[in-house]
């Protein structure tokens, strides 16, 4: 079977066709997939049938894997697999109530534009999300082309963010983004101190510049707090315009591989009192974000 890369509109995202449903592929095909991921930032695979071991094995070919914490949301026996689900561990067909959410997976994860690990010193490089069970309606995921968002910024704004870093705070915003979870413990706060990342980020493989901003960003280093908050809000709103987006409408057996260094994503809601949605995700370790070299708003190689 011949592997085919079919780009989506604007070249942001592509579908990989003709690939083995367990993603156990020879080196030549893997290089095609890896090169396509660099070019298109988001890759979709359809009709997969992967065991957790196969999911992990393919992901490891892309780089070292990150173990998500707390471990109660990871697949038993496979800590590399993070579970996003509203299903009960004992009865996967039954939606769970809020206080049961930790039994099977994290409930209502990712409902807000972000990149995985953006609030850590070293954010995650990429993620591979596999759909085991999806609702018959809604529950889509939106992906944002942050290369395009950066390139579309007014030049005055590109100049304003050149050389600047945003402050990301799990401590400040945990209650805002996860009101259904308990507050952070003192140990969790110690483990997740505030971090600073460049607003214009240079991709370590493509060399291109993307706007790097997400929902855990609070303000901007070197600016008055209120001015920094206004700039963050402007950049967040700018990036979330539909013209930069691809919408993934999930089917059972889909998997999507995205690059956290140059995209954002956002899970959309569904009726989780009526339907069950279960997804398995592997997450790649990343690299410390590098400030893009810019002059007058123009990205340099």
- Report yes or no: 209 and 196 within 8 Å, Cβ to Cβ: no
Q: Are strands 74-75 and 78-85 parallel, antiparallel or unpaired?
A: antiparallel
- For the chain, list the domains and their CATH numbers: 4-138+245-286 (3.60.130.10), 146-239 (no CATH)
Per-residue pLDDT of the chain (301 residues; tens, 9 = 90+): 689 999 998 899 999 999 999 999 999 999 999 999 999 999 999 999 999 999 999 999 999 999 987 777 788 899 999 998 877 655 554 444 333 334 455 555 556 899 999 999 999 999 999 999 988 878 899 999 999 999 999 999 999 999 999 999 988 777 676 776 778 888 888 888 999 999 999 999 999 999 999 999 999 999 999 999 999 999 999 999 999 999 999 999 999 999 999 999 998 876 666 678 899 999 999 999 999 986 444 444 3
Locate 15 and state its tokens: 């579908």
Task: Report the distance separating Cα 262 and Cα 125, nearest Å.
Answer: 9
Strand partners, 197: 166
267 Cβ contact partners less than 8 Å away, ≥ 6 residues apart: 108, 109, 110, 111, 139, 141
Predicted TM-score (pTM) above 0.85:
yes
- Report yes or no: 263 and 115 within 8 Å, Cβ to Cβ: yes
């Amino acid at each position: 079977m011949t592997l085919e890369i079919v780009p989506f509109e604007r070249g942001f995202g592509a579908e990989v066709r003709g690939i083995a449903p367990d993603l156990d592929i020879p080196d030549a095909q893997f290089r095609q997939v890896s090169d396509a991921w660099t070019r298109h930032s988001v890759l979709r695979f359809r009709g997969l049938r992967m065991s957790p071991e196969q999911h992990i094995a393919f992901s490891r070919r892309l780089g070292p894997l990150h173990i998500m914490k707390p471990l109660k949301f990871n697949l038993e026996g496979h800590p590399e697999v993070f579970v996003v689900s509203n299903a009960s561990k004992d009865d996967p067909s039954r939606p769970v109530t809020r206080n049961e959410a930790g039994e099977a997976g994290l409930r209502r994860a990712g409902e807000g534009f972000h990149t995985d690990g953006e609030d850590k010193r070293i954010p995650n490089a990429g993620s591979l999300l596999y759909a085991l069970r999806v609702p018959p309606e809604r529950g889509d995921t939106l992906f944002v082309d942050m290369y395009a968002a950066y390139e579309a910024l007014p030049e005055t704004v590109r100049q304003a963010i050149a050389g600047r870093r945003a402050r990301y705070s799990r401590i400040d915003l945990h209650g805002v983004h996860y009101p259904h979870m308990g507050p952070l413990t003192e140990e969790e706060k110690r483990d997740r101190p505030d971090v600073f990342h460049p607003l214009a980020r240079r991709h370590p493989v493509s060399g291109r510049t993307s706007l790097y901003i997400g929902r855990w960003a609070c303000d901007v280093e070197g600016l008055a707090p209120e001015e920094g908050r206004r700039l963050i809000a402007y950049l967040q709103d700018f990036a979330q315009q539909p013209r930069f987006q691809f919408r993934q409408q999930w089917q059972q057996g889909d998997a999507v591989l995205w690059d956290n260094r140059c995209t954002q994503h956002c899970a959309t809601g569904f009726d989780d009192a009526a339907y069950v949605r279960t997804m398995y995700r592997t997450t790649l370790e990343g690299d410390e974000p590098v400030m893009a070299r810019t002059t007058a708003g123009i990205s340099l190689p």
